[in-house]
Amino acid sequence: MTQELIANMLGVRREGVTESAGKLQRAGLIAYNRGHITVIDRPGLEKRVCECYAVVKREYDRLLNHHNVM
C-alpha cells in the first residue's frame, strides 16, 4: 500500500501520510518500508488514535458478526 493510496483513501496529502507514518515508526508502533506496513504494537497504536476508532470497530464487529446472521 503506497503513501499515495493511503492519502487518497483518507482524503489527505501524501506529505501528511509520510509525516504520520514516520512518527508512528519512530514511536515503535509500525514498521513502514516500500509500501509495506507492519503493525508492531497494536495496543500502543490503538492508544494513539481518536475515540472514533473504537466506535467504528464496534459497529464493524456488530454488523459483521456471523452469530447474528439468520
Domain hosting 15: range is: 3-68
Q: How many domains are there within the chain?
A: 1
Which CATH number does the domain housing residue 44 bear?
1.10.10
**49 band by pLDDT with thresholds 50, 70 and 90:** confident
pLDDT computed for residue 33 by the predictor: 87
pLDDT one-digit tens code per residue, 1-43:
888 999 999 999 999 999 999 999 999 999 988 888 999 999 9
Q: At what angle do helices 3-10 and 14-26 cross, to 10 degrees?
A: 110
Of 14, 15, 40, nearest to 25 by C-alpha is: 40
For the beta carbon of residue 44, count every other beta carbon within 10 angstroms. 14
Radius of gyration of the chain measured on its C-alpha atoms: 15
H/E segment holding residue 60: helix 52-64
